[in-house]
Amino acid sequence: MTEATAPPFPNFPMPRECPFRPPAQYAELRAERPVSQVTLPSGNSAWVIADYDLVREFLADPRTSANRAHPGYPSVLPRQPVSSQQAKGLLTWMDPPEHTAHRRMVVNEFTAKRVAAMAPHIRAITEDCIEQMLVHSHPVDLVQELSLPVPSRVICELLGVPYSDRELFDKRTVVILNHQSSVEDRMAAWQELRTYLSDLVSAKVQVPEDDLLSRLVKKYQDAGTFDHELLTGLAVALLVAGHETTANMISLGTVFLLRNPDRLAEFKAHPETAGQMVEELLRYFSIADYSTSRVTTADIEVGGVVIPEGSGVIALNSAANNDEKVFTGPEEFDPHRDARRHMAFGYGIHQCLGQSLARLELEIVFTTLFRRIPDLRLAVPAEELSYKHNAAFYGIYEVPVAW
């Protein structure tokens, strides 16, 4: 076993040299120091794990915590005081047995069978968004016309959130996830979003409807464990996660395919391969690189290195998804490879609850978009786009397109 790497540690997050590829330093870490330490923007140190097998091993270890309020949690955002009340109900912050109990309440809403039944409606939403795109004079912003509206409408209808209020939660979500937002602005946006959803939960208690929030109210009431604040937190987590990540993947995937006409032509000729292409896009971009962060609750040995109790650890799923031992030639986009082993949705007990829904939305959007607008093109060079280097989930702020 080895001791902690001697400081100074490299800064984290690490810069991207190409907007479509992870930081080049990840490959160096995998080869030379797969378990090592970095310096966060706060000045605190944290551990990073860059090897596929070691990332899986660590994320499956019960001696880790996802509690972001823990003082050792490796936040890449400025630390902000979060009360237990404000964090209540956030599944991604919970540990067993609490996490197990509440995930069980929600998981049946996202089974593969239930999600598959949503396909016709998702197609209808996608067609409607594209119809709206086509009536505008172009260029238009793909993000505002398609990338955000499709997953936003889907998750709103599923949860029972009025889509007419999308501006409220879209704007708050951007502030919350932006690394450059001040602590005060993020706290205010967080409280406004939580207040909005708290009022909505109250409405579902009074007048239940045919939606996920109403069903959750009944489940908790029947179990005798209904807690208004907890259900509000669940609603916040599902709403934010349910549209932001998928929207970023739609934007990135579209830009990537438009920049690679051979790959796009192949996909247009064989739209039935959408599922396989989506898996490779998820692996290739791995936009939620920091979501697999944890804090250790005991000394843990990983790859021959002892990580002390109370240490913040970022299990880099983007580095893992580019591990040459698992994915041959990972720097190449290969829609023919079996990419299903990727960890873009995390790994272990906190693996993304809505991954089946995200996959289906991506398949439908890419297939429908390039069928309806086969001559779609970028209105500005890809190099001039504004990429989300400063956000919790990687993506693009605006994508002007024409046809």
At 360-374, the pLDDT tens digits run 999 999 999 999 999
DSSP assignment letter at 377: E
pLDDT band at 6 (very low <50, low <70, confident <90, very high): very low
CB 358 within 8 A of CB 154: no
In the numeric block, which tokens belong to residue 10? 């490299």
**pLDDT value at residue 1:** 43
CA 241, CA 353: separation in Å to the nearest integer? 9
Full-model pTM: 0.92
What is the bridge-based pairing of β-strands 140-141 and 400-402?
antiparallel
Indicate whether 178 pLDDT > 80: no
Instruction: Please indicate, yes or no, if residue 15 is contained in any of the structural domains.
Output: no
Q: How many domains does the chain have?
A: 1
pLDDT at 190: 82
Strand 45-49 with 312-315, pairing: parallel
What's the whole-number mean pLDDT along residues 171-197? 82
- Give residue 4's pLDDT band: very low, low, confident or very high (50, 70, 90): very low
Residues sharing a CB contact under 8 Å with residue 241, sequence separation 6 or more, in sequence order: 92, 352, 353, 354
Sequence letter at residue 253? G
Looking up tokens 């097998």 gives 53
- In angstroms, the CA 324 to CA 328 distance is 5
Tokens of 277: 């292409």
14 found inside a domain: no
Residue 95 lies in a domain: yes
* Helix pair angle (355-372, 149-159), 10° resolution: 140
From CA 96, how far away is CA 86, in angstroms rounded? 19
Q: Is 37 helix (H, G, I), strand (E, B) or coil?
A: strand
Residue 9 resides in a domain: no
Whether residue 213 has pLDDT greater than 60: yes
Residue 19 lies in a domain: no
Average pLDDT over residues 132-137: 93
In this structure, are strands 45-49 and 35-39 parallel, antiparallel, or unpaired?
antiparallel
Specify whether the CB–CB gap between 200 and 187 falls below 8 A.
Answer: no
Give SS3 for 315. Answer: strand
Residue 12 lies in a domain: no
387 lies in some domain: yes
Confidence class for position 392, pLDDT limits 50, 70, 90:
confident
pLDDT of residue 179: 65
Could you tell me the pLDDT band of residue 3, with boundaries at 50, 70 and 90?
very low
Q: How far is CA 58 from the centre of its chain?
A: 20
More confident: 77 or 105: 105
Q: Is the confidence at residue 86, as pLDDT, over 90?
A: no
The amino acid that residue 129 corresponds to is C
> Percentage of the chain surpassing pLDDT 70?
96
Q: CA-to-CA distance for 252 and 273, rounded, in angstroms?
A: 18
Full residue range of the structural domain in which residue 103 is found: 24-402
Listed residue (192, 114, 190, 125) closest to 353, CA to CA: 114
Tokens at residue 64, please?
């880790």
Residue type (1 letter), 275: G
3-state secondary structure at position 62 = coil
What mean pLDDT is predicted for residues 158-173? 85
Helix H or strand E encompassing 320: helix 317-320
Average pLDDT over residues 165-179: 78
Amino acid found at 144: Q
Helix (H) or strand (E) holding 150: helix 149-159
Q: Which of 1-10, 288-297, 364-373 is least confident?
A: 1-10
Tell me what the mean pLDDT of segment 34-44 comes to: 94
Q: What is the pLDDT of residues 307-355, one digit of tens each?
A: 999 999 999 999 999 999 999 999 999 999 999 999 999 999 999 999 9
CATH number of the domain that residue 208 is part of: 1.10.630.10
Q: What is the CA radius of gyration of the chain?
A: 21
Instruction: Let me know: does 183 contact 167? Beta carbons within 8 Å.
Output: no
E-state strands within 105-205: 140-141
Mean predicted confidence (pLDDT) in 8-17: 91
Residue 41 lies in a domain: yes
DSSP 289-308: TTTTEEEESS-EEETTEEEP
